[in-house]
A = this chain, B = another copy of it.
Amino acid sequence: MTDSASGGDSGTAPPGPRRRGRPRRSPEDAGPGARERILQAARDEFAERGYDKTSMRGIAKAAGVDAALVHHYFGTKDDVFAAAIEISFEPATAVPAVLGQGGTDGIGERLARYFIGVWENPATRAPLLAVVRSALTNETAAKVLRTFVLRRLLERVAAELDVPDPTFRAELAASHMVGIAILRYVIKAEPLASADPEQIIAMVAPTLQRYLTEA
């Protein structure tokens, strides 16, 4: 354990000359964007290092705040992780993008396109990397993935499907997307890593369509 709940050492850049009479920085004056900065820093740290190697202190340092503030807002490292990840998989935005106007017509292509699009976007790639890197070596992270990604997202999609075992089918579709993400973006295996996204979507869309719609 390199992490500690004591959190006294801020680890920020060296302070300027101490302003006389100014009280020790408290959560209320860390600025209105402090919570969002912490979440962004947490996403970056978890994405780059994985769950185990990320510390509360490292997140605080990257966010430019005191470690105590991270604890104040989020509690434990597990809680920061869940909060940092959850926002990226908000079903309110993802599910309509996949289901679209057309119900299950063309759902295979929309799912492939949505998923590849999220990975191709550097802003959303970081939290995804954080999840996959962390979930494979840490049970807390695995639980976050099971709970937030699979249960909330896939079951919402599965509810729209008219096939036997819809959650199983949605999960098979997800497994393909997860595997592509790992080989392309994490392992960087060629030729998949350099393939045109459209080439991937064209090949994969019929697979997803079959899983999600063909009994």
Contact = CB atoms under 8 A, between A and B. Distances in A.
B171 A191 contact: yes
A199 B165 CA distance: 11
B180 A172 contact: yes
A100 B100 CA distance: 43
A142 B187 contact: yes
A82 interface: no
A95 B147 CA distance: 37
A23 B148 CA distance: 59
A150 B171 CA distance: 24
A181 B204 CA distance: 18
Contact of A168 (B179, B192, B211): B192
A62 interface: no
A34 to B, nearest CB: 29
Given A133-B137, A203-B211, A210-B206, A180 B187 contact: no
A50 B137 CA distance: 7
A178 interface: yes
Interface string A155-174: 00000000001011101101
Contacts of A167: 191
Contact of A165 (B175, B184, B191): B191
Contacts of A150: 183, 187, 189
Contact of A172 (B132, B137, B192): B192
A83 interface: no
Interface string A133-158: 10111000010011000100000000
Nearest to A129: B136
A111 B90 CA distance: 35
A65 B33 CA distance: 55
Contacts of A189: 145-146, 150, 171
Given A165-B191, A191-B167, A186 B142 contact: yes
Given A136-B186, A175-B176, 7 more contacts: A52-B53, A133-B136, A136-B136, A146-B187, A168-B191, A175-B182, A178-B179
A1 interface: no
